[in-house]
């Protein structure tokens, strides 16, 4: 049995854990990073990166089919799923190797295996080479999540699948039912519809993307329907059955659906149960989340929880990374104040969606009087030249001061445009300050300027 003494132990090498480990090491700490699978975690291996690689292939295929609209003649294009997946795997491999190199460069010791607490300052890691005991002055828990599949679905990884299997299918099914109209479900709906699969999305709540501005969800639903995706909201799955050729899903409305694949994307569960938290003096809540304060410290001094495992409201890779940086810099300097009022949220559907700050409904709940303005992509020159006229930018501002409270975008490159909006919301910029900033022409970024002008009643191009 190997024994290691260290200043900081980090459980989980996802976007929260490995970033925290590297930053702490940069600040001079001796760091041990524990990972039972691949560095990069879910985001790099089974989430953010592989899905975006597949979306890129799907979007290019869809664009090639519209080449005539751009004055181009091309031969018939056909998706080759094996090559799409191979490209995805190569990108993931490149980035995993990059993270491994960064850990080595910063002298972070990587220990492979599954960690559990023996005491508040002691961990046991069971790995391929046996058990390692780690004595740590401080610990950051960044263990992450796995897909959640209730037993009613009869999950088998073949006909009833999760996002993990959806990334490595051997072939494209003719029909797919996606249960869950959140981020994961909507992204996979965009991917598979673009590749020629007949897709139906079933969501229990009244609209898609229930955690975002309702207009974004309704806008995406209209776009999905226009592209042939069947959207069924306010519907609950009552039963699932299957035979050798198809899966049948019975809905609360009485409707019965059948498809070759059912993708369950209704959420994820944490890995808190495997950590033996009680031996550290900790307990997870009913959702498997570990309560933390604004400093991300748990009820036990010296133990922190970041990412999807804590009770903060953002299950996002960049939120986990930001939290990891905040903890590492709090522990080893210089200190960083954790603030998440301007946390951007991006959904890589077709069209893209991005949001930061308050929705108009949230602003009203806080007792704020607001002004709202929208500007359509259809009135933006760059969007038209790109052949991407679908979408709009919506801004919410405080009525008296003009301070920007929230920005919500549906349209091409929304995930890129939201960075400017996040900066504006974070620093309390006014609509006048944003509209008065010179924006290059022709660019999609002008939609932000024009929307801000709209808040002042001075929009020029609409």
Residues 301-310: tens digit of each pLDDT = 999 999 999 9
Handedness of CA 315, 317, 319, 320 (dihedral sign): positive
Handedness of CA 187, 188, 192, 197 (dihedral sign): negative
What pLDDT, in 10s, does the model give residues 3-46? 999 999 999 999 999 999 999 999 999 999 999 999 999 999 99
Q: Which residues are catalytic?
A: 441
- What is the rounded average pLDDT of the residues 189-195? 98
Tell me how far apart the alpha carbons of residues 455 and 425 are, in angstroms, rounded to a whole number: 15
- What is the rounded average pLDDT of the residues 337-345? 93
The 3 state secondary structure assigned to 2-71 is EEEEEEEEEECCCCCHHHHHHHHHHCCCCEEEEECCCCCHHHHHHCHHHHHHHHHHHHHHHHHHCHHHHC
Q: What is the pLDDT of residue 131?
A: 96
Tell me how far apart the alpha carbons of residues 22 and 137 are, in angstroms, rounded to a whole number: 17
Q: What is the pLDDT of residue 112?
A: 97
Tell me how far apart the alpha carbons of residues 357 and 375 are, in angstroms, rounded to a whole number: 18
Q: What is the pLDDT of residue 338?
A: 87
Reported pTM: 0.96
What pLDDT, in 10s, does the model give residues 237-264? 999 999 999 999 999 999 999 999 999 9
Least Cα distance to 455 among 414, 388, 405 occurs for 405
Instruction: Spell out the domain ranges in the chain.
Output: 2-146+269-332, 151-266, 351-455
Q: Is the pLDDT at 165 greater than 90, yes or no?
A: yes
3-state helix, strand, coil in the chain (%, to 5): 35, 25, 35
What pLDDT, in 10s, does the model give residues 425-459? 999 999 999 999 999 999 999 999 999 999 999 99
- Report residue 199 as tokens: 């897709």
Name the CATH code of domain 2-146+269-332 (choices 3.50.50.60, 3.90.1200.10, 3.40.50.2000, 1.10.3720.10). Answer: 3.50.50.60
Q: Is the pLDDT at 148 greater than 90, yes or no?
A: yes
pLDDT confidence of 336, banded at 50, 70, 90?
A: confident
- Asked, colleague to colleague, whether 2-146+269-332 and 351-455 share their fold, the answer is no
Name the CATH code of domain 151-266 (choices 3.40.50.10490, 2.40.50.180, 3.40.50.300, 3.50.50.60). Answer: 3.50.50.60
Tell me how far apart the alpha carbons of residues 161 and 262 are, in angstroms, rounded to a whole number: 6
The CATH code of the domain at 351-455 is 3.30.390.30
Q: Give the helix ranges, DSSP H, for 387-439.
A: 414-426, 431-435
Q: What is the pLDDT of residue 202?
A: 98
- Report residue 425 as tokens: 């919301």
Q: Is the pLDDT at 270 greater than 90, yes or no?
A: yes
- Report residue 263 as tokens: 């993708």
Average pLDDT, the chain: 97
Q: Which residue has 């210089």 as its token pair? A: 334
pLDDT confidence of 1, banded at 50, 70, 90?
A: confident
């Amino acid at each position: 049995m190997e024994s290691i003494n260290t200043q900081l132990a980090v459980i989980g090498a996802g976007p929260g854990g490995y970033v925290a480990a590297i930053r702490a090491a940069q600040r001079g700490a001796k760091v041990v990073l524990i990972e039972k699978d691949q560095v990069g975690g879910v985001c790099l291996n089974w989430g953010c990166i592989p899905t975006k690689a597949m979306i890129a292939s799907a979007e290019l295929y869809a664009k090639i089919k519209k080449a005539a609209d751009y004055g181009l003649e091309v031969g018939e294009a056909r998706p080759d799923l094996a090559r799409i997946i191979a490209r995805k795997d190569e990108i993931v491999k490149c980035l995993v190797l990059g993270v491994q190199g960064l850990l080595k460069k910063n002298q972070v010791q990587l220990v492979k295996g599954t960690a559990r607490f023996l005491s508040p300052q002691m961990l046991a890691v069971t790995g391929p080479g046996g058990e390692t005991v780690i004595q740590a002055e401080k610990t950051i828990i960044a263990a992450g999540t796995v897909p959640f599949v209730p037993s009613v679905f009869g999950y088998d990884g073949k006909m009833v699948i999760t996002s993990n299997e959806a990334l490595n299918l051997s072939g494209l099914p003719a029909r797919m039912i996606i249960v869950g109209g959140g981020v994961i479900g909507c992204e996979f709906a965009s991917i598979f519809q673009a590749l020629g699969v007949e897709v139906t999305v079933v969501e229990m709540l009244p609209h898609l993307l229930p955690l975002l501005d309702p207009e974004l969800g309704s806008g995406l639903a209209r776009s999905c329907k226009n592209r042939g995706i069947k959207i069924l909201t306010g519907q609950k799955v009552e039963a699932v059955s299957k035979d050798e050729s198809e899966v049948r899903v019975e809905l609360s409305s009485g409707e019965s659906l059948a498809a070759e694949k059912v993708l369950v994307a209704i959420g994820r569960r944490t890995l808190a149960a495997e950590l033996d938290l009680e031996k550290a003096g900790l307990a997870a809540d009913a959702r498997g989340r570990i309560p933390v304060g604004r400093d991300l410290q748990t009820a036990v001094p010296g133990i922190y929880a970041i990412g999807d495992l804590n009770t903060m409201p953002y299950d996002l890779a960049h939120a986990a990374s930001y939290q990891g940086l905040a903890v590492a810099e709090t522990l080893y300097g210089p200190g960083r104040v954790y603030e998440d009022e301007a946390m951007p949220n991006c959904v890589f559907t077709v069209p893209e969606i991005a949001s930061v700050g308050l929705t108009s409904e949230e602003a009203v709940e806080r007792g704020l009087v607001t002004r709202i303005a929208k500007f359509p992509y259809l009135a933006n020159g760059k969007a038209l030249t790109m052949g991407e006229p679908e979408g709009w930018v919506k801004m919410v501002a405080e009525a008296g001061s003009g301070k920007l409270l929230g920005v919500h975008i549906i349209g091409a490159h929304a995930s890129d445009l939201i960075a400017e909006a996040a900066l504006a919301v974070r620093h309390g910029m006014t609509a006048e300050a944003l509209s008065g900033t010179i924006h290059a022409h022709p660019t999609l970024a002008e939609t932000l300027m024009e929307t801000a002008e709209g808040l002042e009643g001075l929009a020029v191009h609409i």
